[in-house]
Amino acid sequence: MNILTKHEHTPLELYYPEMAEITAVNQFTELEKWFEIKLPDGKELGHQPGQFALFSIFGIGEAAISICSAPTKKGAFDICVRKVGMLTEKMHQLEVGQKIGVRGPFGTGFPVNDFKGKDILIIGGGIGIVPLRSLINHVIAYREDFGRIIILYGAKNPDELLFPDELENWDNDPSIEYHVTVDQGTPEWQGNTGVITTLIPGLDLDLDNTIAAIVGPPIMYKFVLMALKSKRLPEDNIYMSLERRMKCGVGKCGHCQINDSYVCLDGPVYQFSDIKNLPEAI
Amino acid sequence: MNKHNLLLQNIPDFVAHLQTYGEVHAPCQKGENSFSFEQVTDPSRVVLDYARTLQSIRKYFLPPTERLLNFSLTDNTFTKVAIENNHRIFLGVHSYDMKAVLKLDFNFSHRTPEINYLKRRENCTFIGVSYEPDDYHFSRSVGITVENTEGFDLFLDRHENGYTVQVLTERGTEITKDFTALGEALEIPEISRQFKNKIKFNYNRLPEVMEQSWNSPVWEEVAQRCVGCGTCNLVCPTCYCFNMVDNVDLKLTDGSRDRHWDGCLLSSFAAVAGGENFREKLASRQRHRIYRKFKYITDKTGDPWCVGCGRCTAYCTAGISIVEIVNRLSDEFEQTHLRKSSAPVGQKIQGVSL
């Protein structure tokens, strides 16, 4: 039998990128830079909040990066990149008008339709706020579809806070409950100090009607989950996004596997109940 | 099913006959005791009595290195790469290696069908051959007999003076019908070849054993001997993990994005930029390899993802045996769980149980 006709779906060319144009940049911190990217012919990326794409520069390679704009933004999308390796270092040198390879979107997003009518508790640590910004902008765009919007954001110090203009908007918006904390304050810092979990005990939550979306460094999840457990938030109401090494983005190369789950296909956004039995998850 | 007889002395002629239908690839002698699938130019070099080739025929469908695209740094553009799919006849494939190809077919067509692999798998003819199991083979333990014909167009079963040729598909008929040296099949009693190397439990019980083996001391013991070289991944016919790397030419004007085989035993496999390594310990990487073969895909498909070829053990630089690992875990399982009335179920993330 012909192997190509045996399959339900047509075999695909999976590894060719689209050459997209950088249309705006903003250096948030020494390490983090924001980019607005436009696909050729005004094509939409067509992503869901929480999904990622693979970005590449020829001669350097490819890496998985979350999309940080909501799908409500048309004609272009945003990413925010921390300089941590060879590719991201090179990306930081890119300027408006230059091109970058894009494959995707890949993976699962936050199931925003299931979130309708619920209170949304968003917990972001460090660059975890980046993928969450896509969800935040979505729930703000469809504000009437959701109950309370509570944003908890933690960073190491005030200089590392990302999206400064938007943080101010969230803070000033009476329909958003925004709480920020830094591990180490500065003389000018007047807000909370302490790790992000210190913001959780004081919350008054409608437990059955609250969805928690968590993104942060691996160490953060364990403590945030314990804090939410003390609050008695049902585990089915908890969603989190996990980071792993990725090469192919399509469930072949094996790098992102957490036990039997491929982060690029089954994640990066998981319902807590789907991963609580995976010992490699956090 | 049609059966014929093929005498040993007619094999070179048979190979030459097959060459009129396409490229013939068959085991050829490399060193004193090593064999490799090669494109046959001289039919007399084909060896059908062999224990195992260093690499399975996986290398034809998922090449050790493969160019995915060519790029130009001068103008920041890329060009696509043509995927070759010449008509190939694989002669002398053992049943476990054929089964391994069928497993890779699943991996490369499941969820996101990949044209690179699947196009190379087109236009292939497979001719199996029986073998005498050695100290390393344990295919029977994972449900694959020496005489298993699944996936083959023809199967050659060895007897004293030659082979009984089973014609299994239309393609098999097509490539044999004009070969006049085939004789009438001999009346030979069917023999089922025996394996000395065995997994002690039926393979369908291994996911259950693995379920209880996450914290077994066996992983640390294996890690004490393992040097993390990744040879087991490199020679495994069902390993398919890969890395993707950009390579630039010396003029720094052009280059290619290539993929090459990677291995979950290598320390960098699950490392991300910024220093986090999600499978930093050798013990956790060995466990991942064994779970990949006997639990993760098995839970989804019902089949083990090991074909019992024995390569990972035969070529291990530290003398680690996959059968020994699985049997040690099975012994532990038997002692700690089968003798208790209520076994704990499932694993919990350490420190968190909501």
CB A56 within 8 A of CB A101: yes
* Choice between A79 and B348, residue whose per-residue pLDDT is larger: A79
User: pLDDT band at B348, cuts 50/70/90?
Assistant: very low
Could B273 and A88 be called an inter-chain contact, meaning their C-beta atoms sit closer than 8 Å? Answer: yes
Q: Are residues B266 and B319 in the same domain?
A: yes
Q: How many other CB atoms sit within 10 Å of the CB of residue A169?
A: 12
What pTM value is reported for the model? 0.93
Tell me the mean pLDDT in the region B251-271.
Answer: 95
- According to the model, what pLDDT value does residue B340 have? 57
Of B156, B184, B212, which residue constitutes the final position of a domain? Answer: B184
Could B122 and A4 be called an inter-chain contact, meaning their C-beta atoms sit closer than 8 Å? Answer: yes
Taking CA–CA distances from A255, the nearest residue in chain B reads B270
- According to the model, what pLDDT value does residue A4 have? 62
Query: Does A19 touch chain B if contact means CB atoms closer than 8 Å?
Result: yes
- Dmax (CA) of chain A: 73
Q: Are residues B20 and B152 in the same domain?
A: yes
- Digit-by-digit pLDDT tens for chain A (282 residues) are 556 666 667 889 999 999 999 999 999 999 999 999 999 998 999 999 999 999 999 999 999 999 999 999 999 999 999 999 999 999 999 999 999 999 999 999 999 999 999 999 999 999 999 999 999 999 999 999 999 999 999 999 999 999 999 999 999 999 999 999 999 999 999 999 999 999 999 999 999 999 999 999 988 999 999 999 999 999 999 999 998 889 999 999 999 999 999 999 999 999 999 999 898 888
Q: Are residues B138 and B174 in the same domain?
A: yes
* Domains, chain A, with CATH or none: 3-106 (2.40.30.10), 112-275 (3.40.50.80)
- Asked if residue B352 belongs to a domain, the reply is no
List the single residue in A15, A60, A244 with the smallest CB-CB distance to B278: A244
Q: Helix (H, G, I), strand (E, B), or coil: what is residue B212?
A: coil
Q: Are residues B250 and B281 in the same domain?
A: yes
Output DSSP code: residue A62. E
Contacts of residue A19 in chain B, CB cutoff 8 Å? Answer: 76-78
Q: Are residues B159 and B226 in the same domain?
A: no
**What's the domain range around B138?**
2-63+82-184
Q: Are residues B221 and B332 in the same domain?
A: yes
Query: Does B34 touch chain A if contact means CB atoms closer than 8 Å?
Result: no
Give the mean pLDDT of chain B. Answer: 93
Q: Are residues B214 and B178 in the same domain?
A: no
- According to the model, what pLDDT value does residue A6 have? 67
Amino acid letter, residue B182: L
Report the DSSP pairing between strands B154-159 and B124-129: parallel
Residue B293 has pLDDT above 90, yes or no: yes
Measured CA angle at B329 (ends B325, B332), to 5 deg: 140
- Asked if residue B297 belongs to a domain, the reply is yes
Q: Are residues B257 and B144 in the same domain?
A: no
CB A36 within 8 A of CB A23: yes
CB A256 within 8 A of CB B243: no
- The predicted complex's ipTM stands at 0.92
Q: How far apart are the first and last CA of chain B?
A: 59
Count up the domains in chain B and report the number.
2
Contacts of residue B79 in chain A, CB cutoff 8 Å? Answer: none
- According to the model, what pLDDT value does residue B275 have? 79
Q: Are residues B51 and B20 in the same domain?
A: yes
- Asked if residue B351 belongs to a domain, the reply is no
DSSP A167-207: HHHHHH-TTEEEEEEESS--TT--SEES-GGGGSTT----G
Q: How many whole angstroms separate alpha carbon A17 and alpha carbon A54?
A: 8
Tell me the mean pLDDT in the region B115-122.
Answer: 96
List the single residue in A252, A257, A280 with the smallest CB-CB distance to B114: A252
Of B129, B156, B184, which residue constitutes the final position of a domain? Answer: B184
Q: Are residues B15 and B117 in the same domain?
A: yes
Determine phi and psi for A133, rounding to 5 degrees. -60, -30
- Chain A stretch 200-229, residues whose beta carbon is closer than 8 A to a beta carbon of chain B: 218, 222, 225-226, 228-229
Query: Does A74 touch chain B if contact means CB atoms closer than 8 Å?
Result: no
Q: Are residues B150 and B12 in the same domain?
A: yes
- Asked if residue B89 belongs to a domain, the reply is yes
Of B184, B216, B231, which residue constitutes the final position of a domain? Answer: B184
- According to the model, what pLDDT value does residue A8 have? 65
Q: Are residues B47 and B99 in the same domain?
A: yes
Query: Does A11 touch chain B if contact means CB atoms closer than 8 Å?
Result: yes
User: pLDDT band at B350, cuts 50/70/90?
Assistant: very low
pLDDT tens readout for residues A19-33:
999 999 999 999 999
Could B114 and A4 be called an inter-chain contact, meaning their C-beta atoms sit closer than 8 Å? Answer: no
* Choice between B344 and A264, residue whose per-residue pLDDT is larger: A264
Q: How many whole angstroms separate alpha carbon B163 and alpha carbon A72?
A: 68
